Amino acid sequence: MKVIIPEHMWEENKEGVIVSWIYKDGAEVVEGDPICEVIVEKIQSDIIAPTSGKLSIISEAEDVVQLGQQIATIS
């Protein structure tokens, strides 16, 4: 399953930055757990695991991200 930046996280036309990953690449995650921290305009938010499974990170810490962008996969 794709892990994306939810469309409702912030206003359109703004960019966010991945602050850190709570889990390492390849870690087993549980649905509902925070897996990543993103910041936009000094407001930090968690990205929540949409399902349980093995995390495969696509976007690294300090990468700039957009709404709707895939940042990881959980399989």
Ordered DSSP codes for 52-67: -EEEEE-SPTT-EE-T
In terms of residue numbers, what domain contains 38? Answer: 2-74
Summarised one tens digit per residue, pLDDT across range 34-55 is 999 999 989 999 999 999 999 9
Q: How many domains does the chain have?
A: 1
Phi and psi of 48, rounded to 5°? -100, 140
Domain containing 31 — which CATH number?
2.40.50.100
Q: Find out whether 4 and 73 touch, Cβ atoms under 8 Å.
A: no
- According to DSSP, the β-strands at 2-4 and 16-21 are unpaired
pTM exceeds 0.85, yes or no = yes
- According to DSSP, the β-strands at 64-65 and 43-48 are unpaired
- Amino acid 12: pLDDT: 76
